[in-house]
């Protein structure tokens, strides 16, 4: 689980990985015979029994630096990834992060550019709202409307959803399933864990080889 790949000195939410560190993390995967793929591709391969050696790479929020920094680094290794885009904020900024630096979000053109380059485009809601506790109408706007926006934009099916802030409850999970998504990503979904609330491993700028190895061992043990 990534967010932003950029050079920055201000990162109160720990969502930013420096480009050099990111390249070293990808190299760490490659040297272990692991291949970064989109979460959708990982899910399909898992169903087919062909997912050995694959690691799903996901980027929340849809920052412009995904195109500028992450995509070139991924291409160097022949990797792909999923970027979860806030459909109602294309070309805007991360105004939901009150204390953090303003980061530009991908434009509509950049979303299409990423899709054309083989990246999976997923939904991160319409306006990055916490879904737990929302009523049916607001859930529909965040879950269904965001999917329609991205499908109309890219001309491709949007299979994946990612819960903003990792916030979900039974109603949110049901809304995602009913909207026609094939899967959804959470962070630590607890009792809701499943195809529509997949757990993920956070990767940050402090994660060097030792931390990454420890996280890999931990997650394999949990499975």
| Number of folded domains that form the chain | 1
pLDDT at 217 over 80: no
Q: Is 155 left (phi over 0), alpha (psi -120 to 50) or beta?
A: left
Query: In whole angstroms, what is the distance from residue 76 CA to residue 56 CA?
Result: 17
pLDDT digits (tens, 9 = 90+) for 37-93: 999 999 999 999 999 999 999 999 999 999 999 999 999 999 999 999 999 999 999
Would you give the DSSP letter of residue 104?
Answer: B
94: domain range? Answer: 4-212
Residue 218 belongs to a domain: no
Q: Which residue has the higher pLDDT, 213 or 178?
A: 178
pLDDT digits (tens, 9 = 90+) for 173-206: 999 999 999 999 999 888 899 999 999 999 999 9
pLDDT band for 221, please (50, 70, 90 cuts).
low
Which pTM does this prediction carry? Answer: 0.95
In contact, 64 and 106? CB cutoff 8 Å: yes
> Is residue 223 one of the residues assigned to a domain?
no
pLDDT at residue 223, as a whole number: 52
Q: What is the tens place of the pLDDT at every residue in 18-42?
A: 999 999 999 999 999 999 999 999 9
Residue 129 lies in a domain: yes
In a domain, 183, yes or no: yes
DSSP annotation string for 24-62: HHHHHHHHTT-EEE-HHHHHHHHHHT--TTEEE-EEEE-
Q: Domain containing 187 — which CATH number? A: 3.20.20.370
Q: Let me know if 34 is exposed, middle or buried by CB neighbors in 10 A (0-12, 13-18, 19+).
A: middle
Beta bridge partners of 16: 4
Whether 151 is covered by a domain: the verdict is yes
Flag the least confident range among 36-40, 96-100, 154-158.
96-100
Alpha carbons 25 and 77: distance in angstroms, whole number: 11
What is residue 29's predicted lDDT score, i.e. its pLDDT?
96
Report residue 222's pLDDT band, with 50, 70 and 90 as the boundaries.
low
Reported confidence tier of residue 9, pLDDT bands at 50, 70, 90: confident
């Amino acid at each position: 689980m990534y967010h932003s790949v950029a050079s920055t000195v201000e990162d109160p939410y720990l969502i930013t990985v420096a480009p050099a560190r990111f390249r070293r993390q990808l190299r760490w995967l490659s040297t272990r015979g692991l291949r970064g793929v989109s979460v959708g591709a990982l899910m399909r391969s898992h169903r087919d029994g062909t997912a050995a050696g694959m690691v799903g790479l996901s980027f929340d929020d849809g920052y412009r630096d995904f195109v500028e920094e992450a995509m070139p680094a991924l291409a160097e290794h022949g990797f792909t990834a999923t970027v979860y885009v806030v459909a109602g904020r294309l070309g805007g900024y991360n105004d939901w992060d009150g204390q953090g630096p303003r980061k530009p979000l991908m434009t509509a053109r950049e979303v299409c550019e990423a899709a054309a380059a083989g990246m999976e485009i997923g939904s991160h809601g319409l306006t990055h709202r916490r879904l737990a506790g929302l009523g049916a109408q607001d859930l529909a706007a965040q879950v269904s409307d965001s999917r329609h926006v991205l499908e109309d934009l890219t001309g491709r099916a949007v299979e994946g959803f990612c819960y903003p802030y990792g916030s979900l409850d039974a109603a949110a999970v049901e809304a995602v399933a009913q909207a026609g998504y094939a899967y959804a990503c959470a962070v630590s979904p607890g009792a809701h864990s499943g195809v529509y609330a997949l757990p993920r491993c956070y990767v940050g700028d402090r994660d060097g080889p030792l931390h990454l190895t420890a996280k890999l061992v931990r997650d394999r043990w949990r499975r």
